[in-house]
Structure formats: structure tokens, C-alpha cells
Structure 1
């Protein structure tokens, strides 16, 4: 034991020098085999940023004045989904004589959305009073009587006209999660409501954008197929086809939706996964970045789910859906995922995903920068994750190397003032490639990698 210790002591200086040399030449060299890998191909690119996954449900105060505007401006919010849910509960919404308070919120929410050029997805179920919390003494079409529902839709039509909310930046989300408790009657009654409501809105507002079914299910669910059959047969196909991923994979779900549409000879303007990220494990930086990547893959709009309830922490009207600690704008790790996503510029670049990791990569030749955001599916592999960059363009290296900045967006429910810098060092370009390895010890964390000359 003593002899082994002496030999070990004599070797330490030489080993230290060797380790230092390895780190300087190629800081990414792992000490162990990678558990997952991704490959970026700079030679395949196209399409400017849309920030289409930067969408949210509620998350502002009931007058839409907080958190500070800079909190949403900086992450370039593109979808804001709401309908006044839970305001006035237990007796809120149209069905309880509490429509005005919910509409006033809706108008303020719309005005805030315009600041960042965001679309509003207006939830008619919330305005009616169906929000999973309030009393709902009656539903549209009860006992075959549609007068109340017709009056309700006509009131909204009048109010959106008065508020100047008749453009394509307002999407009419006809009902939320009608396949579960947000709809309290039969599927047939729901279908009839959709037929009547869609016809009313389209007759009154030419060019209106209708979306649905926003079900708590993916396209592979039989309920979804039944919905498609009905709207096709009754000529009320929505402009935007929507569903929820709680959990789910937007990319594979979109492929299924395309197959269903093709089989029926149907087409829509686009897809919206207008609730993504289940409460708990998926409402963290790593899974959030993974969902962003999957939404970008299918060119689907997305809105991050909000699991808050009024009177609880977090509230539905607080934290931007768990991106901030409160409405004073204290950003958490997941907010920084959306900030780095919003910082991307140039051209979207090809990336081959790993088994449980994915990313969204952009290259900007004018700025001489590539910025990527990487995430892990909830429960994904933990350990060394290899990211190989191939076909590095000539404008990026300087003297045969590039600078690599690796930042970590930590999983924490506390204030995070900025991402943690993991490394900021030079990588030698070999064979027009570099290999960056992240020691991804917590799948709930996300990472951003910036390459510069």
C-alpha cells in the first residue's frame, strides 16, 4: 500500500500536466462514454426564427399589468391563451351572470399581447364559465335549447368588434378539453355546439380564425378521429387544428395528425399544441427546451401549460405559468430557456436528435454566431451527452478554432439572475467538425451553446 502511494505521488505532476494539455486542446473530451448524442449539420439550413413555441396560458395578473412588460417582451411571446377562467368563482362567467369581469380581462390581455405581436387564443369555455373550478349550472344546448348559447356567441362577436379584436391575431378556441370534465354533456351535444358556434362566428366575421378541438388528448386518440369525421361532414373544419401534450411528443403527434387529415382529404392552416408540459417534471428547463425543439420540428405553434389555481401558489394569474417566482418578474431557470430561444437569429439549422435529447439550432453568418438551445425529455438519460457540429461554415472559425460558450439553465424554483457559465473556451476544428460534450447530470436542466469566432 505504501509503495503504491509513493508511485502515485510521483506520477501526479505528470498526470496533472497531461490533463491540463487535454483540456486546453479539446475541452470537451469526456472521461466516460456518452449516454446520448446529437448531431448538428451546418450545411443544411433554412427558415428564419418564428419563436412559435414561446406561447403561454394566463400567467399575468387579472388586469394583465404584471409581471413587468420586459418579462414577456424579452422572450418574444407569440401565443397568449386565455378566457378569464376562475375570475368570479364559484359563480363566474356568462352562465353565472359574471361575463363582464372575464371579458374585461380578455380585452386587457389582448392589449398586452399586441406589444410583442402575439396572437391571442380566446377560450370561449372560460368566458362561458367552464374552467374546472366554477359552478356550471347549465351547458350550451341543454334540453335542446340553443338560445342562451347563441346569445353568448353574439355577445362576444359584438364585444370583439367594439374592441378591434376582429383580425387574424385573435383565434377563436371554441372550447377547452371537451373530452374531459371541461365539457359536462355528451359528445353529440358538444359536436352540435361546435357546428352552431363555428357557423355563427364565420358568418359574422369573414376571415375569422377558428381553432379546435384543444382536447386533452393527442391525435392518436379515437375521440380526435371522431371529431375530424364530424367537422368534415358538417363543413366546420377549424382553421387551426389543436391538441394538448400532457405529456406527449408534438413531432410524432403532428405526423399522426397529418395522416388523419390526408386519409380524409382534409387540410388546415396549421397546428397548435396549445398546452404542453405536464405539471411537475415537465415544467422544468430541460423538458421545456425539449418541447420547444419538438414544436419547431413539426412547425407547430405551442403554448406552455399553466397548472395554477386562484388562491394557491402558483396562481393561474401569476408567474407566467411557472417561469417566474412571482409577478414582480423574478425569473427562474425555465424563463432563461425562452430567453435564449428568443435570442436566436439567422437560419434554422439541421439537427439529428438523440434518444431523449433534442435542440433547436440557428446560424447567423452576419453576426458570425450560432446559438443552440438543448433540452432533455422528462426522465431522459443523464450523463455525458455528445453534440457534434459538422460542416462548420468558413465564416465561423478563426485560425482553425471556434469559441464555445456553454451555459446551463438550472432546474430550481428560485430566482435565477442569469444562466450558469459551464465553459467558455476555444475548440480546435478538425475535419470541419467539433465535438462538445456536456456532463448532463440532471435531465431537468437545459443548456445553451453559443459558437463564435
Structure 2
């Protein structure tokens, strides 16, 4: 599919978590863990899902240094001599043979999509003589090119929706005619098909039966995975059903007596989740575990962008880093088991490289707290006692918002217990992607500190599979009970402190927090539904100031109730900058909408009535004048406005020039843009309200700095 699109642009928030200036409880839900089994290798690393449809446009678009790190396996591109003008292009781009050298130098093959020689989509059938002429032209060009990285000829694209039966006859007969025409001239290049819009077993059975009986079976079987209800490309993602589709197809092959074909899912991902890291991991995991040969990210927007991994200005966005992590994998794929295999939830992939003695895990799609369990680490000779763990994350701020590097969430040493380690990941965002690197031995630049390794007074070190590193501190029951951590700060400044804990009581418990012996602050621990001996914990966050070098962080029993401590985690904060997504604000008289072209995969639209408003809470470290970026879309043909109120005081209206389209229109060639205004804030919490003014505008986020 193609020619259905939207565009966003914005600014950058690098390597930071939102500055949290008061304890913020993370969801206390305790889902089943996401499990990686190092001993269960199921296929070599080939990066099956790293390619894209129309991902290459021409030399330099995208640049080689953007292509190579993703280790693409296959691109699907327009037939040579094609006249497609995809999504507003002024000249044909992505000719398969013209970009084949680009693909080859980056280790990839190319599929020739034959019907894209036509200028229109859906295709307009002319005649059989015309089609035969085009087939001959394509095959001759392919043979004359001498290209040795052609994956195959894709005879037709989405015949269940684009084949003109009235003019061309039945597709099965048309397939046979085209197949034989190709094979008369080229007996070597593989033939791919039928490339239907979605897995349709009845349709495939009819096609394969005909192809078997007429000796024109495709060398590579293909279909698209574009959501549910089946084939609905705008929304309704359902990658959790891909494995059942592939199992059903393999059963169909056996039923029909057909030898196993390579499987190419040459378009995947619905518009609402296009390139969003947390969503893409679900597809990749299904393709890897199910044994497909190749898979291409669908094309909904602009060619030459690796299907939305690259911004309009040729920069890396948040999705690019996910595919770079995937591209970095080497060795063998190892089995992963998601907590909810039949749901749109956390999923991912993992690999092990025996020569490097390294395990890599790429995952996403989860919300809140999750636990990653790495089993059978003792299958690797270099692992003994302690594993070094690094966790990174990559955000989704929209297709045209660059992200220069991923965020290091933590680095730490985790004890290996019974051959496995347990890694808690807190406050996951469903649109973000995550990467864990596990190597042998200990590291010195840790940012996660285990409670059982701290100075424990008046409490007990206990064991549990629900705890980070399988141990925690409990029975912190007396006024003089405390756990004191000695931490190292690379520089003086503000840090985000995450405290992993459990509170199995029925109400909030307290501890006091003291940094370097200074006056204590009270931390509140909401109930988690169980103690760590029987259930996963949760986490709260608090900003603290540290000096360069060694610091002490003491947590002491205080107030009523009880809490157990699992770990603390530190993340350095840069200069003040706070981003608040509109969908996370208080929304009144408007609607939260899913869109892959919005930051964090959602925005607020239908701010249409006089009482419509979006209320943001922003903390300012000091009173003064700040800049505020507002991400918005204005699909009208004139400037629109929102009223602006700060701490109850009316300000000048915010004006939004037209952007050429709305955020989630299909097709949409507008752009999400930003306006920057000055705002006067008081120290501490501030309330910023944007309400309906003149005209109409959608809100994506605000960022104050």
C-alpha cells in the first residue's frame, strides 16, 4: 500500500527523562516477566525485519551512514522504468535497479515490484499487450543490469484489492500468464507472490491450489500484515496474530502437498503505529520467532526515509535507534517469551554472540513496571557470579523530530542466581523502545545500586526472584532501621533518583531520605499489593542534588507502615527542560487520538468548543521567564489561536500558523510544527491552560525550558 500519509516536525529533547520534583508512584501492577532463554537459540541473526518498502529513493537519500547501521536484509522497490510518484514526489524515485547498488553496499537485496511501473495506485489496467510489454521491459532491464542482489520479482501488489478482474480476467490465470512470461526469459530470479493485503487462508488456498496444479507456484510466498480487522491499514494493529497466521500457512502447505516456501511479509505496520519503536518491536519479535525470511516496514509517508526511521532533514529519529540496536545483533537469535502473547503488550527479541560472550535484548510495547528475566546465562562460559547490565531507551517524538542518541537509563552489576538474572524496568512508555546489553563481570560506572549491597542497619537482607539481582532488604521496622547507599556522581548537579520498593500493606508507607547527611525529606510509598517474597515491587522517583564524587543516600524508617527496599537508580539531569505530552495533561471537551505522527504516539484533537481545554502541570526550579514550545497542527487555511492562562492569569493568545493538514489525516501532507512563546512561571508547580480560541488547532505537547 502507499499514498496514505501524514507529516510531523518538531524539536529535540535529548537523553533526558522528565524532571520529577516530587515522588511519583509508578504503577504497582505485577505482570508476568518477559523471559529470554540464552540456551534456546533458534536461528542465526539475519535481521529479517530490517528492510522497508520504498526505503531507498536515490543515491544519498538516505545517506549510507543511516542505512548501514540498521543492517537491512531486503528492500522492496519500484520496477525499473516505473512512473510512480509516491506521496507527492515530483519525479519517480526508488527504481529497484537504480538503488540496487546502494542496497548491495549495505548488505541488502532488492525486490522488484513489477506493477509499480504504472503511474497510479490503485493500478489502472490497460491491456494484456501493454502488460506483457512492461513485463518484458522489466525482465530485460533486470538481466542487462547484471545486479546480483535481486531478491525476486513481485508479480503484483495486493491483487485482492487492485486486480481488475473485469478487464484482465481472473488473477489466478493472470498470475500463470505472467509467471510463464517471466520464466521464458529469466529462469534464475525468484518469483514472489501473491502479496495480498492480509493473511486470508481461503484466498491463499484457492491461489496455491491453482498454482500447484498449473506448475506456477511462487518461489517466495508473500502477504502483508497491516492490522485488524484484517487488512484495515489505518488502525487496529494486531501483530500478536502473526505467529498464528504463519502456523496456519505452514499447515496449508502440508495440506496441499507443497514444499515449504520462504515467507516474505513485504509490508508490515498500520499507519497509527508506523515506526513507533514500542510498536515495531512487536512485529519484529513475531517475524523472528515465526521464521519468516524477510519483512519490510510499510510505506505510508515519504520515500527514501527507511519507512519513517529518518527525518525530513536526513537525521536519526527515535525509531532509527531501535533498528540500529536490531542491526547490531550478531550470532544467534535466542527465544523470548512475552508476558501476554495474545495481547498488544510487551514483546521483543534477543541474541547471543558466543565469541563476544554478549547478550542483547531489544523490547518495547509495555506500560509501567516490567521484569526482564534472562535465563541460562551459565550456558556462556564467561558468566559467573555477576553480570554487567546496561539499559537504554529511545523515545518517539514523531517522524521529523531528531534524536541524536538514546538515553542510558541505568548501568549496573546484577548477581547471577541459579544461572539467571532479573532486571526490573520501571515506568515503561508504550511508544518507547528499550535495549539491554549483558556482558560478563563487573563495571565501575554503575547507576543502579542494589539495596543488599548497601550499609544495612536494623534490617535484613532477604532473597526473592521478584527482586532485582534476586535480593532485597526487608524488615526495616524500627525508628533506627536504615539502608545507606554510597554512590558516585560524575558531576555535581541534579539527579533523578528512582527507588525500587515493595509495600505489601493496605495504605501508603513512609521513609525519610537524607543525602550527604542533610535535612531529610519524606518519601511516600503507595501500596504495591504484596511483599517482595511473593510479588513484584514498584518504584517512586524524586529529584536530588549530588556533589561530584562520593555521596551517601540514606533511607530510614519513618511514620506509619512498612516498606522493603530493592534498589536505587540514578540518572543525571541536564539543564532544565520539561516536556509534557498533551494526552498526559487534563483534557476537557476534547479527544485523545492515536497517531504515529505525534510525539509519544498520541495527541489531543477536537478542541472545538468554547469550554475545550488542555491543562498542563509544569514545575519550575525558580521564578522567572521561560520559553515554551507548543507542538501543534492547524489544518485550516488560516491562522488559529488558543487562549493561554498561567496560574489563573490570562495571557496573550497563542497563534498557530496553518500547517497544511491535521496530524492524523490520511493522506496528509501537512506538518506538525511548533510555536515558541515566553511564559512567566513561579517557583514550584505551575498550571498552564490552553483553550479554544479562534479557528482550530490540535495539541501534541509543550516543552518548557
Indicate the TM-score class for this superposition, using the shorter chain for normalisation. Answer: 0.7 to 0.9
Of the three residues 109, 112, 130, the one matched with 1:122 is 112
Q: Deviations over 1:411-447 (max 9, x none)?
A: 2211111111111111111222111122253212111
CA contact (8 A) 1:369 1:396 kept: no
TM-score, L = length of structure 2: 0.53
Cα 1:109–1:290, aligned 2, differ >3 Å: closer, same or farther?
A: same
Per-residue deviation at 1:168?
Answer: 6.5
Q: Tell me how far apart the structure 2 counterparts of residues 188 and 215 of structure 1 sit (CA, whole Å).
A: 17
Distance 1:104 1:340 in 2: 26
Alignment CA distance shift 1:177-1:31 (3 Å): closer
Q: Return the offset for 1:118.
A: 1.2
* Structure holding more strand per residue: 2
The count of residues paired between Structure 1 and Structure 2 equals 392
Q: 1:237 to 1:130 in 2, by over 3 A?
A: farther
* Structure-2 residue corresponding to 1:270: 262
C-alpha distance in structure 1 between counterparts of 2:317 and 2:94, whole Å: 29
Match of 1:10 in 2: none
Partners of 1:409 and 1:395 lie apart in 2 by: 31
Question: In 1, Cα distance between the equivalents of 2:31 and 2:213?
Answer: 49
Residue matched to 2:437:
450
In the TM superposition, what whole-angstrom CA distance separates every residue of 1:235-269 from its partner, at most 9, and x where no partner exists? 11100000000124432211111011111111243
Name the SS of the counterpart of 2:267 in structure 1: strand
Aligned to 2:361: 372
Paired residues of 2:84 and 2:116 also in contact (CA < 8 A): no
Greater RCO, 1 or 2 (C-alpha within 8 Å, sep 6+): 1
**Out of 129, 140, 153, which is 1:147 matched to?**
129
Select the residue among 56, 69, 73 that pairs with 2:64: 69
The verdict on how the C-alpha distance between 1:104 and 1:70 changes in structure 2, with shifts beyond 3 A counting, is closer
| 1:321 aligned to which of 290, 294, 307 | 307
Structure (1 or 2) with the greater helix fraction: 1
1:162 corresponds to: 144
Instruction: For residue 304 of structure 1, report the CA deviation from its aligned partner.
Output: 0.4
- Identify which of 322, 328, 343 aligns with 1:337: 322
Distance in 1 between the 2:360 and 2:300 partners?
A: 30
Is 1:184 matched up with 2:164?
A: yes
Corresponding position of 1:23: none
> How far off is 1:32 after superposition?
3.1
The answer to whether the aligner puts 1:386 opposite 2:386 as a matched pair is no
The CA RMSD measured in Å over matched residues stands at 2.6
1:37 aligns with 2:33: yes
Match of 2:77 among 70, 79, 82: 82
The 8 Å contact of residues 104 and 149 in structure 2, kept in 1 or not, is answered as no
Alignment CA distance shift 1:230-1:128 (3 Å)? farther
Q: Residue 194 in 1 paired to residue 175 in 2?
A: yes
Match of 2:281 among 289, 292, 310: 289
SS at match of 2:121: coil
Equivalent pair of 1:57/1:306 in contact (CA under 8 Å): yes
- When residues 440 and 185 of structure 1 are mapped into structure 2, their CA distance, relative to the original with a 3 A threshold, is farther
CA distance in 1, matches of 2:211, 2:369: 48
Q: Is 1:236 matched up with 2:244?
A: no
Offset of residue 188 of structure 1 = 4.6
Secondary structure of 2:372's counterpart equals strand
1:104 & 1:404 partners in 2: Cα distance? 41
The alpha carbon displacement at 1:281 in A equals: 2.4
From 394, 400, 407, the equivalent of 1:420 is 407
Conserved 8 A contact 2:152-2:190 = yes
- 2:56 corresponds to: 60
In structure 1, C-alpha distance between the alignment counterparts of 2:421 and 2:181, rounded to whole Å: 58
1:282 Cα deviation (Å)? 4.6
Residues 162, 334 of structure 1: CA spacing in aligned structure 2 closer, same or farther, 3 A cutoff? same
Deviation at 1:197, TM superposition (A): 0.8
Does residue 97 of structure 2 align to residue 107 of structure 1? yes
The alpha-carbon distance between structure 1 residues 440 and 219, as it changes in their structure 2 partners (threshold 3 A), is farther
The counterpart of 1:395, out of the listed 376, 381, 390, is 381
SS in 2 for 1:336: helix
**CA–CA distance in structure 1, aligned partners of residues 278 and 422 of structure 2:** 21
